[in-house]
A = this chain, B = another copy of it.
Amino acid sequence: MKKIVFLFYEGMTPLDAIGPHEVLSRLPESQIKRVAPQAGHRLITTDTTKLTLVAEYSLKEVSHADVLIIPGAREATTFEEKPEVLEWIRMIHQTTTWTTSVCTGSLILGAAGLLQGLPATSHWSVMDRLKKWGAIPTQQRVVETGKIMTAAGVSAGIDMALTLAAKIAGDDVAKRVQLGIEYDPQPPFDCGSVAKADPAMVKALLATFESRFEK
């Protein structure tokens, strides 16, 4: 039974987690746990109009994962102010087959010291901040290095999870999951990456993001 563990936390971006969650929950012989820093009542208010998710476990209740998934957050929380979360991530990482992040979740992996000298990706707007943690910013949708996999912004978690599904359970299972969630994307515009979007739009959006991010 593969233990797949999602870190849920206040201010997280829901789709960062729910994309991979929908994919990985469809793997045969897998068990998913949602874990949050706080003990007791674990209603997790996300960064998206206060959509609330529930985490069933606290950090202390989970000491092992085959796959760890860390979503990002609009505020790009790194948990520097909560060293016990970073400590838990380092401990879990010692037990994983795959340690992964989506979007700004890679800044959390970085803060935990797991990306030193390694290529990694993140949301395009915070790419440079990976350097603070010794990582090598790498503009790819999914970056794999050793047992660490990082995905680009928000929706990239779906692509990462399917890649992961293939590695864990084989191509046929991953294809079945992709067909199951009818993932044949047809975005109405071709502007979903910095390379493809209008530079003026990139600049304007970056300005609104930066006004929100913690420094």
Contact = CB atoms under 8 A, between A and B. Distances in A.
Interface of A: 13-15, 18-19, 21-22, 25, 31-32, 34, 43, 48-49, 51-54, 56, 103, 123-124, 141-142, 152-156, 158-159, 162-163, 166, 171-172, 174-176, 178-189, 191-194, 196-198, 201-202, 204-205
B183 A192 contact: yes
Please list the 5 inter-chain residue pairs (A to B) with the smallest Cβ-Cβ separation, ordered nearest first: A153-B182, A184-B192, A52-B54, A185-B185, A15-B22
Given A52-B54, A159-B186, 10 more contacts: A14-B18, A15-B19, A22-B48, A25-B49, A53-B53, A156-B182, A156-B184, A174-B189, A178-B187, A185-B192
Contact of A188 (B56, B162, B194): B162
Contact of A187 (B14, B52, B123, B159): B159
Contacts of A22: 13-15, 48, 154-155
